[in-house]
Chains A and B, each alone.
Chain A
Amino acid sequence: MKKWILPLVLFAAVFLVSWLCQPYTLICQEYEGLFLNTPDAWTRAFAQPWPLSGIVSDFLIQFYRDPVYGALICAALVVLAFLLCRGILRRTGLLTEGLPALLAVILWVFLAKASAPKVAISVVLLLFAAWLLSLLLPRPKKTFAWKGDLPLALVPVLVVAWVIVRNPAVQRTERFSRVKIDALYGVWDDLLKTVPPSVAQEDPELTPFALLALSGKEQLNERIMSYPVYEENDLDMVYYDGPREYYTSLLFKACLYQYLGCYNEAIHNYYQWATQQEKGTSFIVLRRMVELYYLQGNYTLMEKYCRILDHSLMNGAYVRHFRAQAAKGELQEPTPPAERAAIPVISHDPLYNLILLQKNGFDTPMLRDRLPITLLLRKEERESIQP
């Protein structure tokens, strides 16, 4: 019974911390991950370094869409690493809980970082291989054990649990993941709760998302002054420094144009966002293509993306829902060339785009809310650079 105490504590700790403190981080990993049973996906998977760990981690991450499953998987991986390490050491005659616990919590740190699940899987696979090899060793004649090993082994587990819960980087990742998901689905109240003015002050990257939520609630005019807005870019995220900001700005623009009803531009930005992702696309981008092409009445392309998602495990209900919707929908006819040549095109200037959209019938409450603020900020910027 005693030998199960630490694995149980470890499992409970990892599960609870992941589920309670990192649910959005887990969901976001599924959103930006991809596991498809298609020929191209397999070719790509085997072309990458460490293909097996890549395939296993991609496979597991698709279950993270439900954070309970995600937390269970993380906990299971950490405990598995612990058990394998303990098993290997036992074959050498070392009866210790401390060393396996140490390795398991390091693995937990990798999983909590979210950016390196593949590393964690690689470690588990290597441990598994090592454990198989250790079975070939003869049973040890002598064994070594320490008194007080178990209480000592609990220390790193509790310390790491505390560090992950309190770690600012982990908290920031969780907050940013929550903001991304709220923005993608227009959960404005939750987004504003996640990014109050004080948070925007310390994390300016989140300000445009908070302002997007305000305009989604048609409250931008009243509440913008409570947020730290110094320039137009705080509102529309046109300029960016480095790949991370570029990645964020593409997601922001995709969401913005989607809520403004300009689906062509939203698709444009989702495509661009996809090219910045590890596999060139992701579950969320594929699902967003289904939704946007459905909204556009382009059921042929919607069906293509449905069929691709059908080659994953967790999207069956989603695909069935959209296929049923499309069966009742109205098909969009292609625009004739003469008409098409006169359609205005989007620019890199958000103010120009808002005016263009308004002139072309995209007169949404969000647009009405954002246009005067964009104008004011532009005017402010122009005046500030005048001598």
Chain B
Amino acid sequence: MRFLPVICGALLALSCVRPVFTDSAGFPPVVPDYIGVTVPEGMAEISFEMADGRPFKIEKTQSGDTLFYQVRAWDKKTGKGVRYAPFPVYVSHDPIDPYLAYRLIEPGYEGWKEMGLYTRELATYREHAIVTNDAVNGGCVNCHNFPGGDPSRMVFHARGAGGGTVFRTGNELKLINLTTVGPHKQGTYPAWHPSGRYLAFSSNSTQQSFPIHGSQQVEVYDHFSDIILMDLQTDSVTAYPCLAEGSRMETFPAWAPDGKSLYYCVADSTARVVENRGRIHYELEAIDFRDGQFVGEPRTVFASDSLSVSFPRVNGKWMLFTGSAYGTFPIWHKEADLYLMDMETGQVEAASALNSDDTDSYHSWSSNGRWVVFSSRRLDGRYTRLYLAHFDGEGHFGKPFLLPQKRYEHNVLRLKSYNVPEFVQGDPGTLNKEVSQLFGR
């Protein structure tokens, strides 16, 4: 009887097939693809799994600024295993802003249950809500923006009953319904002037449509849109005729880093937008800004008959924008890719290192311009996930990598999409209580 545990243990050990490994010169087929990526120093550890679901073990070594991950994977049934060549992950000493802010929302249609603006510390896996829609009577919270990544200043919209635009400056929080001031236009996409005094908003009348067949299940478009300017010192809002033309739709404002010009996208207004959506191509324009005023005439920066521009973001002499075949909402367009423009030469090239076969869209630069974060649907075609990539300042991006989670599977199991990723230089904290009070809760 006393030998029973020993016998059971021996039988158990014999029942497990011990894997026998053969060496392979190739890298392991892992998801997500972290092979040869450049990561910032101090970032949370990457996690991955075998694309074919095999069990595996990792041995991590370091040589200089390169980490090597050697993967041994085996077949549970046959016990045949493969020891793959160690794959490199390069560590860059270019600093990165320590936090990311984004919205988490079901990638659905007109409605939602829970959504919120969240922040994630890059050195750890810690994520917490900045504000959720619980605080705003279940309405929508969207289009957050931090000027220069400053966590103490923030703007976002809270839609729905009693809603408006919430401005945070230090400890002060105020709610302004932009439709009740100035030209009575609501704010949509914000762009905070580098001085911190002005905010440009696009004001969009946005609708959705649902194609009856095909792989694209949602199309979003504007019926009209303008750009308005808010002066935060006086809380006044101004619409400039050249940026609010009825015959044109101006949207996606973005300031030049020196604040002397505003870039934005513009397309001619079209009757029967849904039917003609394939013909709508947004161009990139700019207008000068001096002493709190837009001056001069808008000038075309980039125009194409085959590419519709959205989300221009300037980083020194480089501008990154999303290009899609048509329209104004690239996240539902599988062909949407990121494009890099050399603003000195006007040359535009697809940022091939960043792009995938699926949607690659909303992006933002880190405060030092050495990193970019963008949203991509390359994992499953529906749920947007965040990718980061290194930028060398000379027009070259490193291979992008998926924002690491404690376990890669979290990306599969999460039923929400990441929207509007922005780098932040510190933890913006939690505003739920304060925002609730603004909404009389």
Give the B-binding residues of A (Cβ under 8 A).
36, 38-40, 44, 262, 264-265, 267-268, 271-272, 274-277, 279-281, 298, 300-301, 304, 307-308, 311, 332-335, 337-346, 356-357, 360, 362
Contact mask for chain B residues 265-293; partner A; CB cutoff 8 A; 1 contact, 0 none: 00000000010011000000000000000
CB distance from A226 to the nearest CB of B (A): 32
Residue B333 CB within 8 A of the other chain = yes
CB distance from A349 to the nearest CB of B (A): 13
Q: Flag if A334 contacts B380 (CB, 8 Å).
A: no
6 nearest A-B residue pairs (beta carbon): A341-B278, A280-B113, A337-B325, A345-B209, A335-B214, A275-B111
**Contacts A267-B217, A343-B211 given; 8 further ones with Cβ under 8 A?**
A38-B413, A264-B217, A268-B218, A272-B108, A275-B108, A332-B215, A333-B215, A362-B212
CB distance from B382 to the nearest CB of A (A): 6
CB distance from B328 to the nearest CB of A (A): 13
Q: Flag if B381 contacts A338 (CB, 8 Å).
A: no
Determine the residue in chain A with the shortest Cβ distance to B217: A264
The 8 Å CB contact of B213, one of A276, A307, A343, is A343
Q: Flag if A345 contacts B213 (CB, 8 Å).
A: no
With A335-B216, A341-B277 already in contact, the answer to whether A272 and B109 are too (CB < 8 A) is yes
Contact mask for chain B residues 317-335; partner A; CB cutoff 8 A; 1 contact, 0 none: 0000000111000000111
Q: Helix, strand, loop or mixed for chain B's interface?
A: loop
Q: Flag if A39 contacts B213 (CB, 8 Å).
A: no
Q: Flag if B413 contacts A339 (CB, 8 Å).
A: no
Give the A-binding residues of B (Cβ under 8 A).
106, 108-114, 209-219, 274, 277-278, 324-326, 333-335, 380-383, 406, 409-410, 412-416
How far apart are the CA atoms of A267 and B214 in the complex, in Å?
13
Count of chain A to chain B residue pairs whose CB atoms are closer than 8 Å in the complex: 122
CB distance from A148 to the nearest CB of B (A): 53
Q: Flag if B413 contacts A280 (CB, 8 Å).
A: no
Contacts of B334 in A (CB 8 A): 334
Provide a sorted-by-A list of 19 A–B residue pairs whose CB atoms are within 8 angstroms. A38-B414, A40-B413, A262-B212, A264-B213, A272-B111, A276-B113, A280-B113, A280-B114, A281-B106, A300-B381, A334-B334, A335-B214, A337-B325, A340-B215, A341-B277, A342-B278, A344-B212, A346-B209, A360-B213
Contacts of A264 in B (CB 8 A): 210-214, 217
Determine the residue in chain B with the shortest Cβ distance to A311: B413
CB distance from B407 to the nearest CB of A (A): 8
How far apart are the CA atoms of A262 and B111 in the complex, in Å?
20
Q: Flag if B112 contacts A275 (CB, 8 Å).
A: yes
Contacts of B277 in A (CB 8 A): 341
CB distance from A271 to the nearest CB of B (A): 4
Residue in A300, A307, A334, A343 whose Cβ sees the most chain B Cβ within 10 Å? A343
How far apart are the CA atoms of A298 and B114 in the complex, in Å?
26
CB distance from A47 to the nearest CB of B (A): 9
With A39-B413, A264-B217 already in contact, the answer to whether A343 and B335 are too (CB < 8 A) is no
Q: Flag if A298 contacts B215 (CB, 8 Å).
A: yes
Q: Flag if A334 contacts B215 (CB, 8 Å).
A: yes
How far apart are the CA atoms of A267 and B210 in the complex, in Å?
10
Q: Flag if A339 contacts B212 (CB, 8 Å).
A: no
